[in-house]
Amino acid sequence: MAPSFDPSAAAAPGSGAFGLTDGPGEARVHILPIPFDATCSFRRGAAGGPEAIRTASAQVELHDLVVGRPYEAGIWMAPSPAEVEAWNAEARALADPILAAGGPGADTELLGNAARVDAIQQELEAWLFERASLALEGGKLLAVVGGDHSVPLGAIRAHAERHRDLAVLHFDAHADLRPGYEGFSHSHASILHHVARLDPVSSILQVGVRDLCEEERAAIDGGRIRAVFGTDWAAARLEGRNLRALIRRELEPLPRDVYVTFDIDGLDPSLCPNTGTPVPGGLSFDEASAWLEELVRSGRRIVGFDLCEVAPAPGGEAGKGWDEIVGSRLLYRLIGFALGSR
Ligand SMILES: [Mn+2]
């Protein structure tokens, strides 16, 4: 950060995310945007999330009442990767007729499209794994910003490879435990199915899940995969139970190192009205923040994280909408908590 930098001033024109001027070398935090949303089954738009968040982040006050001064560590957001933009354009065009038909069925052309979309997702996964590994080797804290929730798999794998025992704390309205969805094996509805198959991931705790199929319900075994369902959370809130005590109890079995994967639709949809698959209920902003705060207070280490499914309003001025205003503030909190845990 330049010595003349004033954290209280408005973001200067041409400055980076959060109005900061750090380059990749000096910044301890690297934000990697992944504008990809080809398999969104209901409403697309998450591909526009990273750039909308970049713009909206200029409005975030750098001093935060809960996490202090994350900006002091230096925060750099990479430019939007042209490779990912190209993959998304190709995969969207291939996925469109499949999504319109509710899956490829026995149609050979659609099956061919689905296979190519899967191949693109695998290329993206491998590419992100490489990018994430480089950042981690350089000692950076890596934040992936989606895109739909299929995108962070390569980054989660890069983190998992560096740990013998890793927990994944998963905020979402959905369990995302389907082996595949609508003909895609790397769907936004399947990410946790793939994460659960990474060896070092010893436990998954899902928070806010309130929309899932029977097969996913059965996969949540109360052991390696546990959930605090959105309905459990709402009941605890309605009955006036001590929510912080509940959080501490649920976090208790987790190992020390934790990766956080945050689908914005885990929050109340009034905080993310344009996200791809909104569901009533969910956490408030301060409740989500309390989960992260208790995680850090418990001595656990947030080794990395992602934020997915933030979608700007269609037809609105991207960067000025409510979805990205909330998203950029949640991103700043996540950065602050992760830094505070290291
Ligand atoms: Mn979701």
What's residue 188's pLDDT? Answer: 79
* Distance from Cα 175 to the centre of ligand 1, integer Å: 7
Query: Mean of the per-residue pLDDT values for the chain?
Result: 95
Span of 12-16, 35-39, 269-273 with lowest mean pLDDT: 12-16
* Distance from Cα 44 to the centre of ligand 1, integer Å: 13
Over residues 229-267, the pLDDT tens digits come to 999 999 999 999 999 999 999 999 999 999 999 999 999
By the 8 A CB rule, do 146 and 307 touch?
yes
**How far from the centroid of its chain's Cα atoms is residue 282's Cα?**
16
CB atoms within 5 A of ion ligand 1 belong to: 172-174, 263, 265
* Distance from Cα 1 to the centre of ligand 1, integer Å: 36
* Distance from Cα 107 to the centre of ligand 1, integer Å: 28
What average pLDDT does the segment 84-101 reach? 94
301-308/225-228 β-pairing: unpaired
* Distance from Cα 266 to the centre of ligand 1, integer Å: 7
What average pLDDT does the segment 1-12 reach? 80
Over residues 215-227, the pLDDT tens digits come to 999 999 999 999 9
Is residue 2 predicted with pLDDT exceeding 80? no
Phi, psi torsion values for 261, nearest 5 degrees: -115, 120
CATH 3.30.420.240 fits 23-340, yes or no: no
Is residue 62 predicted with pLDDT exceeding 80? yes
What's residue 295's pLDDT? Answer: 98
Beta-carbon neighbour count of residue 281 at 10 Å? Answer: 18
CA distance 98 to 230: 31
| 14/321: higher pLDDT | 321
Span of 74-78, 107-111, 182-186, 328-332 with lowest mean pLDDT: 182-186
Over residues 172-181, the pLDDT tens digits come to 999 999 988 8
| Per-residue tokens: 287 | 């409740």
Is residue 3 predicted with pLDDT exceeding 70? no
Percent of the chain with pLDDT over 70: 99
What's residue 43's pLDDT? Answer: 86
pLDDT class for 296, splitting at 50, 70, 90? very high
| 53/4: higher pLDDT | 53
Task: Specify the amino acid at residue 333.
Answer: R
| Per-residue tokens: 38 | 């080809």
Beta-carbon contacts of residue 263 (< 8 Å; ≥ 6 apart): 149, 170, 171, 172, 173, 174, 176, 308, 309
| Residues found in the chain | 342
What average pLDDT does the segment 272-289 reach? 97
What average pLDDT does the segment 28-37 reach? 98
* Distance from Cα 277 to the centre of ligand 1, integer Å: 6
What average pLDDT does the segment 291-311 reach? 98
* Distance from Cα 110 to the centre of ligand 1, integer Å: 25
* Distance from Cα 279 to the centre of ligand 1, integer Å: 9
CA distance 52 to 149: 17
* Distance from Cα 170 to the centre of ligand 1, integer Å: 10
* Distance from Cα 188 to the centre of ligand 1, integer Å: 8
Show the CA angle centred on residue 150, arms to residues 146 and 156, nearest 5°.
Answer: 80
CA distance 226 to 207: 9
Q: How far is CA 226 from CA 163, 217, 299, 323, in A?
A: 20, 10, 20, 28
| Per-residue tokens: 4 | 């003349």
Could you tell me the residue ranges of all domains in the chain?
Answer: 23-340
* Distance from Cα 122 to the centre of ligand 1, integer Å: 21
* Distance from Cα 267 to the centre of ligand 1, integer Å: 10
Query: Which spans in the chain are helix H?
Result: 49-56, 82-100, 108-137, 153-160, 191-195, 214-219, 230-238, 243-251, 285-297, 322-340
* Distance from Cα 132 to the centre of ligand 1, integer Å: 23
Show the CA angle centred on residue 97, arms to residues 95 and 103, nearest 5°.
Answer: 80
* Distance from Cα 271 to the centre of ligand 1, integer Å: 14
Around 260, how many Cα atoms within 13 Å sit in the side-chain half-sphere? Answer: 32
What average pLDDT does the segment 150-168 reach? 97
CA distance 17 to 54: 5
Over residues 131-158, the pLDDT tens digits come to 999 999 999 999 999 999 999 999 999 9
